Structure 1
Amino acid sequence: MRPEILFPLYAPVTTLKGVGARVAPLLEKLAGPIVRDVLFLAPHSLVRRRPATVNTAIEGEVQTFTVEIDEHQKPRSPQQPWKIRTFDGSGFLTLVYFGSFGHAVAEKNPVGAKRIVSGKVERFGSEWQISHPDYLVAPDKADEIPEVETVYPATAGLPARTVRKLALQALTQAADLPEWQDPAWLAKGGFPTWKEALERLHAPVNEADLLPIAPHIRRLAYDELLAHQLAMAQRKADRRAEPADKIAPGPKAAAIVADLPFKLTGAQDRALADVRHDFAQGERMSRLLQGDVGSGKTVVAMLAIADVAAAGAQSALMAPTEILARQHYETLAAPLAAHGITTVLLTGRDKGAARAEKLRALASGAAQVAIGTHALFQNEVHFQSLQLAVVDEQHRFGVAQRQLLQAKGRSVHLLAMSATPIPRTLELTVYGDLDVSRIDEKPPGRTPVATRAAPMTRVDEVEARLREAVAGGAQAFWICPLVSESELVDLKAAEQRAIELRATIGDGVGLVHGKMTGPEKDAVMADFADNRIKVLVATTVVEVGVNVPNATIMVIEQAERFGLAQLHQLRGRVGRGRRESSCVLLYDPPLSETAQKRLDILRRTDDGFQIAETDLELRGGGDALGLRQSGFPDYVFADPFAHRDLIAAAGDDARLIIGRDPELTSERGKALRVLQELFDWRASSPLKDAG
């Protein structure tokens, strides 16, 4: 039940004065549907209005002048602006109005009237002018022109000044809430109260007040991070409270390890030990196995599956695409079968008697392992005793989908896998409700990928070398950028590149892109995996999953348009066999300094975790690493780069709070409940769950 003290903030935006049927949808689009969303909408800049005279005017500055209306210059055609010539004793200043504003302005500002005008001053030939002044008022209303004015986000039909009035109105709806932060922590950070922080947010006195390092913004960011971390700590505690069957290391896993043609890395051994420790606790496991492309996560998952099978129970491995599910099946089925563990592959393509037989095998327990796509959590799929759910590329599934799979058994252990390296500083924000194991060593035998950068002007040379390599039996990816703002243009460019490469290389050139249906993409990818296609032109749909050991060349066109972590993921598609592999980063010169650093770090290292940390530093705040697609929370105040120290502190604080006051019944606990409701971060929030 939401606390009554928050009711005014959870009221719809239409309760704000001036928000009617026309403004409401605009404000909802800009901020959100409730008053709290408008309250949390921060100004992004300040305008300082300095008094000036025409003979001291500075081009490009926002300045304020005391003038007399000298002349109205009416337009000769509708396309021309209405101009008002004014004089301040030192020179003439022209006010310019486009559109149908002129007559209304003329009525309010007759010739001879004294006025105060403020706006951005520009040169037009030998004249000074202000286009659409911010303010034009009589001298007795001079106090309407602020010396320092905050500038808020705006949208078509809703100007920044209107948004400012609504944000300040929302501020009056905010009550003095009970303090949920530890007094010693507040003193250490020099933090104001929650209400004081909001007041400073909407009334900054200088540019420093707009920065994420300002104490009031750090206070609000920490509140938001603590609310989130608290919800995840509660969720983790709830899971651990669920009893689960203990699973001991079995002989089957040891036998599979003995069969492997390689020795497990130290990181794989540590990850397996983490999983087995969880299995032995008698409570439900929720663990993330995070490892770079090709680091050997699947082997660890296979050994966990073998332990579960040895205990007489079943496992399910769910992958986001059919081709990836099939790939896992081909990797795991034979080693497991050699030790009496039966595996079935279940995808949307299964029909009729064959599908019915697989379903019977799972329901009876004759099959100990199911590998598949979304088909695994359909209603007609039943397990005799599902105890482990392995979810590959877990961020590609919705929370409800992961939960549907886990609901196929009682207290099912979860092992999530991700090949998208997340910087340590951000792990808590994305995976705070999971225990995390990192596989940060590459298995022996992986061939390093030689990475080179070249300007797009050398594309003909790259195509010629590619033709030679394909003639020698190699396969290659050619990646074209695809961004939503110009998706059709980019898609056409990818199609054109495929046509050009067919002219250069021959018919063995395929094309795969996001506009194709799932089966269409799978068919092309299967042809590539089976070496019927030699060069695959693709948008980033190949970023995760596909394993083609014979592919040894990766060409990424306009590499400067990709994020660093994304480039690393794409590069990981090659170098998966024993043959020497290469990655060519084609770019449009000139490169920005950031783009240059991005390409340089790729040439220097293939350590995904180091690359992720560097990407965070190069991007700073905003959508670091493209994490919006990787389950990164949509914070309002917290900045993943500027507030890295606060993320760790909030995680520690949340664990301490739940350890001491799990039900949040103390005075601070009750205040923390208000905090969670304020930010809408609760343990029960279904859409903000990593596990």
Structure 2
Amino acid sequence: MAVSRPALRLQDSLAALPGIGPALAGRMAGLGLTRIEDLLFHLPLRFQDRRRLLPIASLRPGMECAVLGEIVDLQRQTGRREQWLLRLADASGAALRLRFFHLSPALRQQWHSGRRLWCFGELRAGLQGLEMVHPEWQLADRGDFRPPEHLTPFYPSTQGIHQQQWRRFIAAAQELLPSLADPLQAYFPDWPSMADSIRYLHRGGERAPMAADREWQRVALEELLAHHLALRRERRKSAAQLAESVPDPRLWQRLRRTLSFSPTSAQERVIAEAVADLASQRPMRRLVQGDVGSGKTLVAVAILLHVVAAGKQVAVMAPTEILAVQLYERLQSWLSSLDVAVGLLLGSQGLRQRRTTMTDLQEGSLSVVCGTQALFQENVEFARLGLVIIDEQHRFGVEQRRRLLEKGDLPHLLVMTATPIPRTLAMTLHADLDISSIDELPPGRQPIDTLVLADDRREELIQRLHHLLAAGRQIYWVCPLIEESEILQLQAAETSYADLQAVLPEISIGLLHGRQRSEEKAQIMEAFRHGKLRILVATTVIEVGVDVPNASVMVIEHAERLGLAQLHQLRGRVGRGAQASVCILMYHAPLSAKARERLQILRASQDGFVIARKDLEMRGPGEFLGVRQSGERQLRIADLLRDEALLALLPGLAERLERDCPEAIDVLVQRWLGSGTAYAAIG
């Protein structure tokens, strides 16, 4: 007696589907697919329309199309490799040649004159007329022949899985769509159901699905909501944990009295918001975003002093060693009068220096440490870590941030970024964080005149720089590459350095790039900061954080190759002193339309929020927010910018689900994020 298979469920392993063995299941797991339900959300990359049959007489080279005709003959062709040529004719009176390099004996027996064949492929011009090479095909005179009724999907794949397998497995998963949980249907009765939306996204209608379709929006809403719910849940977990109340204002008040300027009202507001967090007995999780030069470092110093005064340690993590060194030097200059010990921990340091710093951290004699990824290595231990500050947070991976936070007992977290994003987007993307914005610049910041110049006017530019150098100005000269590249044909930093030395022999010029040792880079920056170097030729390693008030000229070669945010960051290195400043964007003609638009935006605005919004529109959220590099989970259906209207629905919808249907939250989070929700807890 035949043994009946148990009924399939969406939560079953993929191996439960007929045809999926351990090897195939392993390949699919590499794409993040482990359950049958996962196949429903493995959506097509593109579609082909194979429904319409074209007469062979109407075909032209380069077309992709479906034809149905009668086999006229099948011939074997010998030569360097065996080939089989099948001639197909239809009622139009024309014939088409099909070329196959592999044809089994069984197929050769089936394919005889008079049989009808359906095939789809790309047409090319052969020596004896039009031909298709290895088209997809079906015998059209068999009882089980079914011409395509819908668009044909093409799915993201991996080695060893072909498209016909994907279509078969996903079709089997769609048989279970009636059992798909749909907790949002009660809130959106006029929208398509989740099952209908998924079915539509896999096969389309008269055309391929588009992001504006209600079905697409329905699925995008659920995906965005799942991420939002995961972040809210982690935030509640964090809020439920008790953290030590640490704000002690004494050290900050002492430092304020020594400052030659007053913090802006925006800085005061952000400091107060963070101090309230520190006093709340829950772990602070706050994002501070502000434009280039808005004073984020002073805000961080004020907050860390409230923690240090309470007897706790602070770790400050920066994305580059140059920035870590600069933060260390700035903190030393501010905190030395307060008897606060500041250390530096870098991967490039000697073993003895690293061991000394690590011993001081472990024993508690070091209150503040600046560093890069070296801070979260296993052998780094803190006596009483109370606060983690992460600068340019989008440059760090989730795992890196988690490992640093685990160095303490529920330390507070402050993340900072000079890449501001729209508030609605920030509230969704960082639903686990409180958000503060430093939305004004300190008084005295000079406006920066931005010029766009073709690189064939380089000699003219250098002549003009003579006058600025004679007046005591310092100049950044930024090049995107270190060495010449014949492929990109970019002016390399080393070449520009040599050229400038040749035409300005009386001027002291330095060269800075990422391949130099940390000590060498620090010495060069120090020489430039103290005016010993008049021109600093550099790669984009100086993009973030470098502060030399006397440098008032920024030249950026091949500016058309850089993104808006990067160009704005580089431009922000000048305008920090009393002199009028200028940024010269040099480009190599011809400019693409997008490159021209970027340079025009830079000329027209110095508002980081405006520029960030434009950059987001031009580049897309994934690249803009750094999630491709940082390890954040990327959205599959939704788009944070395109679907911004949906973001406004999320907080209210999340509250209703939490109140009315809390069991649905696990369903949605598991569906879209699986077990990978821990990233939400760490900002």
Alignment check: 8 A CA contact 1:494 1:538 kept: no
- Following superposition, the deviation at residue 640 of structure 1 comes to 1.6
**CA spacing shift, 1:465–1:167, aligned 2, 3 Å:** farther
Letter in 1 for 2:70: E
Alignment check: 8 A CA contact 2:475 2:555 kept: no
Q: Which residue of 1 aligns with 2:141?
A: 139
Q: Which residue of 2 aligns with 1:498?
A: 494
Q: Which residue of 1 aligns with 2:335?
A: 336
Q: Which residue of 2 aligns with 1:181?
A: 184
**CA spacing shift, 1:27–1:177, aligned 2, 3 Å:** closer
Alignment check: 8 A CA contact 1:559 1:585 kept: yes
- Following superposition, the deviation at residue 251 of structure 1 comes to 4.3
Alpha-carbon distance between aligned partners in 2 of 1:76 and 1:370, rounded to the nearest angstrom: 74
1:576-615 residue CA offsets vs partner (Å, 9 max, x unmatched):
4344443333445444433332222111112222112122
Letter in 1 for 2:546: V
| Secondary structure of residue in 2 paired with 1:594 | helix
1:510 aligns with 2:511: yes
Alignment check: 8 A CA contact 2:396 2:630 kept: no
Q: Which residue of 2 aligns with 1:233?
A: 232
Moved more, 306-315 or 348-357: 348-357
Alpha-carbon distance between aligned partners in 2 of 1:501 and 1:467, rounded to the nearest angstrom: 16
| Secondary structure of residue in 2 paired with 1:51 | coil
Alignment check: 8 A CA contact 1:180 1:669 kept: no
Q: Which residue of 2 aligns with 1:569?
A: 569
Q: Which residue of 2 aligns with 1:293?
A: 292
1:330-388 residue CA offsets vs partner (Å, 9 max, x unmatched):
22223333345443444456668876776676566655433334454556666554433
Letter in 1 for 2:446: T
Alignment check: 8 A CA contact 2:348 2:517 kept: no
Alignment of 1:122-201 (within 5 A): 127-140=129-142, 143-153=145-155, 154=157, 158-172=161-175, 176-181=179-184, 183-184=186-187, 186-187=188-189, 190-192=191-193, 194-201=194-201
Alpha-carbon distance between aligned partners in 2 of 1:364 and 1:497, rounded to the nearest angstrom: 44
- Following superposition, the deviation at residue 437 of structure 1 comes to 0.4
| Secondary structure of residue in 2 paired with 1:268 | helix
The runs of 5 or more residues in structure 2 that have no matched partner are: 1-5, 503-507
Moved more, 68-77 or 520-529: 520-529
- Following superposition, the deviation at residue 450 of structure 1 comes to 2.8
Alignment check: 8 A CA contact 2:315 2:369 kept: yes
Alignment check: 8 A CA contact 1:477 1:535 kept: yes
Alignment check: 8 A CA contact 2:219 2:637 kept: yes
Alignment check: 8 A CA contact 1:78 1:99 kept: no
Alignment of 1:301-312 (within 5 A): 301-312=300-311
2:670 to 658, 669, 677: 677
Alpha-carbon distance between aligned partners in 2 of 1:251 and 1:490, rounded to the nearest angstrom: 59
Alpha-carbon distance between aligned partners in 1 of 2:640 and 2:295, rounded to the nearest angstrom: 29
Alpha-carbon distance between aligned partners in 1 of 2:399 and 2:552, rounded to the nearest angstrom: 38
| Secondary structure of residue in 1 paired with 2:151 | strand
- Following superposition, the deviation at residue 289 of structure 1 comes to 1.0
Alpha-carbon distance between aligned partners in 2 of 1:257 and 1:5, rounded to the nearest angstrom: 71
1:317 aligns with 2:309: no
**CA spacing shift, 1:26–1:353, aligned 2, 3 Å:** closer
1:593 aligns with 2:593: yes
The runs of 5 or more residues in structure 1 that have no matched partner are: 661-665
Alpha-carbon distance between aligned partners in 1 of 2:407 and 2:56, rounded to the nearest angstrom: 77
| Secondary structure of residue in 2 paired with 1:638 | coil
Alpha-carbon distance between aligned partners in 1 of 2:448 and 2:236, rounded to the nearest angstrom: 43
Alpha-carbon distance between aligned partners in 1 of 2:287 and 2:524, rounded to the nearest angstrom: 31
Q: Which residue of 2 aligns with 1:642?
A: 642
- RMSD, matched Cα: 4.1
Alpha-carbon distance between aligned partners in 2 of 1:498 and 1:433, rounded to the nearest angstrom: 45
- Following superposition, the deviation at residue 271 of structure 1 comes to 0.9
1:686 aligns with 2:678: yes
Q: Which residue of 2 aligns with 1:42?
A: 43
Letter in 2 for 1:44: L
Alignment of 1:48-67 (within 5 A): 48=49, 49-57=51-59, 61-67=63-69
Alpha-carbon distance between aligned partners in 1 of 2:30 and 2:282, rounded to the nearest angstrom: 43
**CA spacing shift, 1:535–1:335, aligned 2, 3 Å:** closer
**CA spacing shift, 1:206–1:455, aligned 2, 3 Å:** farther
1:505-539 residue CA offsets vs partner (Å, 9 max, x unmatched):
259452524x6776676676666656676665555
Q: Which residue of 1 aligns with 2:370?
A: 371
Q: Which residue of 2 aligns with 1:395?
A: 394
Alpha-carbon distance between aligned partners in 2 of 1:426 and 1:413, rounded to the nearest angstrom: 24
Alpha-carbon distance between aligned partners in 1 of 2:575 and 2:72, rounded to the nearest angstrom: 75
Alpha-carbon distance between aligned partners in 1 of 2:601 and 2:489, rounded to the nearest angstrom: 28
Alignment check: 8 A CA contact 2:270 2:438 kept: yes
TM normalised by structure 1 equals 0.83
Alignment check: 8 A CA contact 1:116 1:142 kept: no
Alignment check: 8 A CA contact 2:192 2:218 kept: yes
- Following superposition, the deviation at residue 288 of structure 1 comes to 1.0
Alpha-carbon distance between aligned partners in 1 of 2:283 and 2:91, rounded to the nearest angstrom: 81
**CA spacing shift, 1:409–1:627, aligned 2, 3 Å:** closer
Alpha-carbon distance between aligned partners in 2 of 1:464 and 1:101, rounded to the nearest angstrom: 72
Alignment of 1:527-546 (within 5 A): 539-546=539-546
Alignment check: 8 A CA contact 1:67 1:87 kept: yes
Alignment check: 8 A CA contact 1:200 1:216 kept: yes
1:240-275 residue CA offsets vs partner (Å, 9 max, x unmatched):
222334345624423433432233222212211211
Q: Which residue of 1 aligns with 2:3?
A: none
1:84 to 63, 83, 86: 86
Letter in 1 for 2:169: L
Alpha-carbon distance between aligned partners in 1 of 2:104 and 2:112, rounded to the nearest angstrom: 12
Letter in 1 for 2:677: S
Q: Which residue of 2 aligns with 1:431?
A: 430
1:116 aligns with 2:118: yes
| Secondary structure of residue in 2 paired with 1:95 | strand
- Following superposition, the deviation at residue 419 of structure 1 comes to 1.9
Alignment check: 8 A CA contact 2:391 2:415 kept: yes
| Secondary structure of residue in 2 paired with 1:90 | coil
| Secondary structure of residue in 1 paired with 2:427 | helix
| Secondary structure of residue in 2 paired with 1:415 | strand
Letter in 2 for 1:302: V
Alignment of 1:343-492 (within 5 A): 343-348=342-347, 367-377=366-376, 385-458=384-457, 474-480=474-480
**CA spacing shift, 1:117–1:370, aligned 2, 3 Å:** closer
Letter in 1 for 2:262: K
Alignment check: 8 A CA contact 2:342 2:367 kept: yes
Query: Identity, % of aligned pairs?
Result: 35
Moved more, 425-434 or 127-136: 127-136
Letter in 1 for 2:95: L
Letter in 2 for 1:229: H
| Secondary structure of residue in 2 paired with 1:151 | strand
**CA spacing shift, 1:155–1:413, aligned 2, 3 Å:** closer
Alpha-carbon distance between aligned partners in 2 of 1:281 and 1:5, rounded to the nearest angstrom: 52
Q: Which residue of 2 aligns with 1:663?
A: none
